[in-house]
Structure 1
Amino acid sequence: MDHFMHPRNVGEIPDADGIGKVGNPTCGDIMAMYIKVKDNVIVDCKFKTFGCGAAIATSSMTTELVKGKTLEQALEISKKTVAEALDGLPPQKMHCSNLAADALHAAIDHYKCKKDGWSCPFSKEGTIPMAGKK
């Protein structure tokens, strides 16, 4: 409840190294995750979320979990990691933790595409259309 009532790291990083945007067509939640990377470590992470309290809380918690982690460590963050860090989520809200992890992973993928000059399967901002759709 604390991360819903007092979300951390809300906003954008204007010069973000990676941006991941995801959405769930069933519930209408939309998340954008912004990361700043230095020497393979995520030094800053912010989010903007349009959605329910669980979507806001999972986004906020994800930004807290990821700061100071290497990219490889950050990729290990899963919906279970996020839900456990919030002391659990109701089953009908678990998709929110999925979206938060998906947004983070999309931001990391976007960063890697930009850094390595890959042909990125995402749009210029790391968007994954309809992520989380079952």
Structure 2
Amino acid sequence: MIRVFLALLLLSTPAWAMQDPREILADPVQESRAQDLFHDLRCVVCQNQSIAESDAAIARDMRKLVRDRIESGASDADIINELHRNYGDFVLMTPPVDPRTWILWGMPIIILGLGGFVAMRSLRRAANMDDPS
């Protein structure tokens, strides 16, 4: 049973992008920064994959750019801003909250509110139908 569970767990986890060991930074602190940034940046050709998860050529190029910028002394914000300028909001795994994205951030609340309103209304109608008076 445990073997079946482990096999299912292994098959259900995302396939992490294979990284060439030659690409990894020699300084473990810098490589850790790079890995953190990889998870904050979306591959621009993949659907909802970070550049850490993607095997696409553009994702490899983006990982290389991140590592190069880290080696040259750029801050995380500088790196993210550069990629944001080049690729737009889509490159960010967490889009900014601004007037252009309010509908994106507000849609879950709107849907929950409408669903709650419909449920309350349905329950009231059902209660009124059951009330014999």
More helix by share: 2
Q: Which has the higher contact order (CA 8 A, sep 6+)?
A: 1
Q: Do Structure 1 and Structure 2 share a fold, with TM-score over 0.5?
A: no
More strand by share: 1
* TM-score normalised by structure 2 residue count: 0.31
